[in-house]
């Protein structure tokens, strides 16, 4: 395996964790393709993590592409000159162009998960959507890259729970654990051409990309729906938000609070209690919601809104 050249494309913490695990288990990465902090800001990368410390730790060179899409001729030239055997995606939210895939002697590996088996649940922000939709499981797939969206042959998969306490961060912890196990088991087989490929079925479904502006809370939905929405968009993502007197308030942590304590005269989105800790209670459809971590100023009697100029 040491004679094989593996390149990892990544700019997120999940990729950093993968490399540490693979290197400590005898699987050597030859090169990183990553983004610097300026590029991460340009491309609005949520949860960006530099690969510089990892590069120094393992003496692995980093190539910073001219374009995140890898469509720049200089980026294609980099892959053509290096003759990599295998490419691994470690937090890279762009499709790999066909002319780069063609430079790989074996191919590329992608990791994709959602609450359904592929081809269902292809696309973007699947961790966030799974929490928003209150799904109860997550299925992580290891698959061969093509130029298209998540449609390559599946090599392996793992299933884990989505429980009522999970957030996008804890799901990524589970994602990382299972991804490392799959890669550790499958990469040696792939390098020795001793692996099975399972084509995906027909009739795919797709999740849409989410933007920061999509984080606006709809106070007409239920307590459970708002709770799921907040935990789906908490750090490292931009966060769920609302307006209070035309100022944005970001919510990072909440929990359903009570269904028997009622405020008949309160409006939906109205703050009905604020404690000395700063935690506060919001009146919602079907119950009360406790907010325990947030950015912004609120007081009892304020009415939170899904739009400005409330």
Is residue 135 domain-shared with residue 267, that is, in the same domain? no
242 and 108 belong to one structural domain: no
Q: What is the pLDDT of residue 47?
A: 85
Q: What are phi and psi of 141, to 5 degrees?
A: -110, 140
pLDDT in tens, the chain (310 residues): 568 999 999 999 889 999 999 999 999 999 999 999 999 999 999 889 999 999 999 999 999 999 999 999 999 999 999 999 999 999 999 999 999 999 999 999 999 999 999 999 999 999 999 999 999 999 999 999 999 999 999 999 999 999 999 999 999 999 999 999 999 999 999 999 889 999 999 999 999 999 999 999 999 999 999 999 999 999 989 999 999 998 999 999 999 999 999 999 999 999 999 999 999 999 999 999 999 999 999 999 999 999 876 5
The number of domains in the chain is 2
The CATH code of the domain that includes 151 is 3.40.50.170
308 in a structural domain: no
Euclidean distance between CA atoms 154 and 274, whole angstroms: 51
Domain membership of residue 60 as a residue range: 6-207
Statement to judge: residues 36 and 181 lie in one domain: yes
Do 197 and 230 fall into the same domain?
no
Q: Let me know whether 175 and 273 are in one domain.
A: no
Q: Are residues 176 and 264 in the same domain?
A: no
Q: Is residue 301 part of a domain?
A: no
Do 227 and 162 lie in one domain? The reply is no
Q: The domain that contains 266 carries what CATH number?
A: 3.10.25.10
Question: What distance in Å separates the CA atoms of residue 5 and residue 235, rounded to the nearest whole number?
Answer: 35
Query: Does 153 reside within a domain?
Result: yes
Instruction: Note the pLDDT of residue 9.
Output: 97
- DSSP for 166-177, written as a single string: --HHHHHHHHHH
| Residues paired with residue 143 on neighbouring β-strands, in sequence order | 110, 154
Say which residues have a Cβ less than 8 Å from residue 215's Cβ, sequence separation at least 6. Answer: 233, 237, 238, 239, 240, 241
Beta-carbon contacts of 185 under 8 Å, excluding residues fewer than 6 positions away, are 156
Same domain, 241 and 184: no
Cis peptide before 236 (omega within 30 of 0): yes
Upper half-sphere CA count for residue 268 (Cβ side, 13 Å): 14
94 falls within a domain = yes
| pLDDT of res. 213 | 93
Task: Tell me the C-alpha distance between 89 and 142, whole Å.
Answer: 10
Strands 247-258 and 287-295: what pairing?
antiparallel
- Which pLDDT does position 46 carry in this prediction? 84
How many whole angstroms separate alpha carbon 289 and alpha carbon 281?
6
What is the rounded distance in angstroms from the CA atom of residue 253 to the CA atom of residue 233? 10
Q: Distance between CA 99 and CA 73 in Å, rounded?
A: 10
241 is a domain residue: yes
Determine the pLDDT at residue 13. Answer: 87
151 shares a domain with 286:
no
pTM of the predicted model as reported, rounded to 2 decimal places? 0.92
Rounded alpha-carbon distances, angstroms, from residue 241 to 70, 204, 293, 307: 34, 32, 12, 10
Q: Does 203 reside within a domain?
A: yes
Query: Do 193 and 219 fall into the same domain?
Result: no
Residue 170 and residue 221 in one domain: no
Whether residue 224 sits in one domain with residue 106 = no
Task: Find out whether the peptide bond into 119 is cis, omega within 30 degrees of 0.
Answer: yes
Picking from 165, 187, 207, the residue at the C-terminal end of a domain is: 207
How many angstroms from the chain centroid is the CA of residue 54? Answer: 21
The domain boundary residue, chosen from 167, 191, 207: 207
CA quadruple 303, 307, 308, 309: dihedral sign: negative
């Amino acid at each position: 395996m040491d004679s094989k050249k593996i390149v990892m494309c990544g700019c997120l913490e999940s990729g950093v964790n993968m490399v540490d695990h693979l290197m400590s288990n005898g699987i050597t990465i030859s090169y990183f393709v990553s983004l610097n902090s300026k590029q991460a800001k340009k491309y609005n990368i949520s949860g960006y993590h530099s690969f510089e410390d990892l590069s120094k730790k393992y003496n692995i060179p980093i190539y910073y592409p001219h374009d995140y899409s890898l469509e720049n001729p200089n980026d294609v030239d980099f892959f053509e000159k290096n003759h990599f055997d295998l490419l691994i995606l470690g937090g890279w939210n762009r499709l790999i162009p066909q002319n780069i895939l063609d430079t790989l002697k074996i191919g590329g590996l992608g990791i994709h998960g959602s609450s359904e088996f592929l081809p269902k649940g292809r696309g973007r922000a699947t961790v966030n959507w799974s929490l928003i939709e209150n799904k109860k499981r997550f299925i992580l797939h290891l698959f061969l890259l093509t130029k298209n969206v998540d449609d390559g042959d599946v090599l392996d998969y793992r299933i884990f729970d989505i429980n009522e306490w999970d957030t996008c961060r804890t799901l990524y912890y589970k994602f990382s654990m299972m991804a490392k196990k799959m890669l550790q088991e499958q990469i040696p087989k792939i390098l020795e051409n001793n692996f099975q490929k399972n084509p995906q079925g027909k009739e795919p479904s797709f999740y849409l990309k989410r933007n920061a502006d999509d984080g606006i809370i709809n106070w007409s939905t239920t307590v459970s729906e708002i709770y799921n929405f907040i935990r789906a968009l908490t750090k490292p993502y931009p966060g769920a938000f609302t307006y209070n007197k035309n100022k944005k308030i970001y919510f990072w942590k909440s929990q359903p609070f009570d269904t028997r304590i009622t405020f008949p005269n309160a409006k939906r989105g109205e703050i009905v209690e604020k404690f000395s800790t700063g935690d506060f209670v919001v009146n919602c459809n079907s119950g009360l919601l406790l907010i325990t971590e947030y950015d912004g100023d609120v007081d009892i009697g304020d009415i939170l809104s899904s739009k400005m100029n409330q």
